[in-house]
Amino acid sequence: MAELGIPQNTIAVLQKYGFRFQKKYGQNFLIDTNVLERIVKEALVGPEDLVLEIGPGIGTMTQYLAEAAREVVAVEIDRNLIPILEDTLSAYSNVTVLNEDILKVDIGALVRERNEGRPVKVVANLPYYITTPIVMELLESRVPLENITIMVQKEVAERMQMGPGSKDYGALSLAVQYYARPEIVANVPPNCFMPRPNVGSAVIRLTLHKEPPVKVRDEHRMFQLIRASFLQRRKTLANALANAPETGLTREEVQEALQKMELSETIRGEALSLEQFALLSDLLPV
């Protein structure tokens, strides 16, 4: 079986099938064996694991995962890639390819049927335009996941692990850190892909918390406040929350809660930690 991490083998497969990259799917295939080996290692894939792979492309990473895991379920949205995957993965009896949109797959059912409800590992080389919706769907779905190891745009990876006070800290940072511990495990330059993207990439591993790191009375309400506070991030927190109709709050109510927390009335959302947002959410009227 031709190893697809070697560029000339990838080119041969693409030529054989006359495959054309589709911009709408943000397709960039990995062509670096060192990076592929590193991802499988950092995802902590072992012989007992079921791995859910999102966006297998022509099966480059899938081959590596199939060698390391008990079973791989690869979800690919582009139906033009399905015949290619049937070819490139024909030697692996432990791989199932689903021609589906990952946002419409019942991952919970898949985990129950194929892994007896035990946590699975997710590995993905995600199109940059849809990184956040897919990550948030995986985290919020509450399906049993051990970790999520994904290739994303470098600045998105950095945003996921950012703390309060930086310009890159935002709603995504807080949401990811509520559900998981993020850790950038590799930086990947553009020349490791075909076609080459215009930006640098990074591999980030999200290790899911068994319990959230903060206690909050109403999780949904806390995230509503977080989103509202970063929608107008140059405004003070009191103004941002009072200006967002969905919060139903007045500036005075927010200022009163901030006083109880011994925080300045002019503080901005980007200065608050996850713990402080949880406390603020508990102090404010619903």
- Residue 229: predicted pLDDT: 96
Extents of the domains making up the chain = 7-208, 219-283
Please, which residues have CB within 8 angstroms of residue 81's CB and are 6 or more apart in sequence?
Answer: 19, 56, 57, 58
Instruction: Decide whether 7-208 matches 219-283 in CATH topology.
Output: no
Q: Where are the beta strands (DSSP E) in the chain?
A: 29-30, 50-54, 71-75, 95-98, 120-125, 145-153, 180-188, 193-194, 201-208
Q: Rounded to an integer, what distance in angstroms lies between the CA atom of residue 255 and that of residue 70?
A: 54
DSSP, collapsed to helix, strand or coil, labels residue 57 as coil
Task: Count other Cβ atoms within 10 Å, centred on residue 101.
Answer: 12
The widest CA-to-CA distance across the chain, in whole angstroms, is 67
Contact criterion met (CB below 8 Å) for 97 and 56: yes
- At the top level of CATH, which class does the domain 7-208 belong to? alpha beta
- Residue 119: predicted pLDDT: 96
Q: Tell me the pTM.
A: 0.93
Residue 268 class from Cβ within 10 Å (0-12 exposed, 13-18 middle, 19+ buried)?
Answer: buried
| Tokens matching residue 239 | 């103004």
Contact criterion met (CB below 8 Å) for 144 and 111: yes
Q: Rounded to an integer, what distance in angstroms lies between the CA atom of residue 20 and that of residue 115?
A: 35
Query: One digit per residue, pLDDT tens: the chain, 286 residues?
Result: 578 888 999 999 999 998 887 767 778 889 999 999 999 999 999 999 999 999 999 999 999 999 999 999 999 999 999 999 999 999 999 999 999 999 999 999 999 999 999 999 999 988 778 889 999 999 999 899 999 999 999 999 999 999 999 889 999 999 999 999 999 999 999 999 998 888 999 999 999 999 999 999 999 999 999 999 999 888 999 999 999 999 999 999 999 999 999 999 999 999 999 999 999 999 999 8
Q: Which CATH number fits domain 219-283: 3.30.70.890, 1.10.760.10, 1.10.8.100, 1.20.140.10?
A: 1.10.8.100
Number of residues that make up the chain: 286
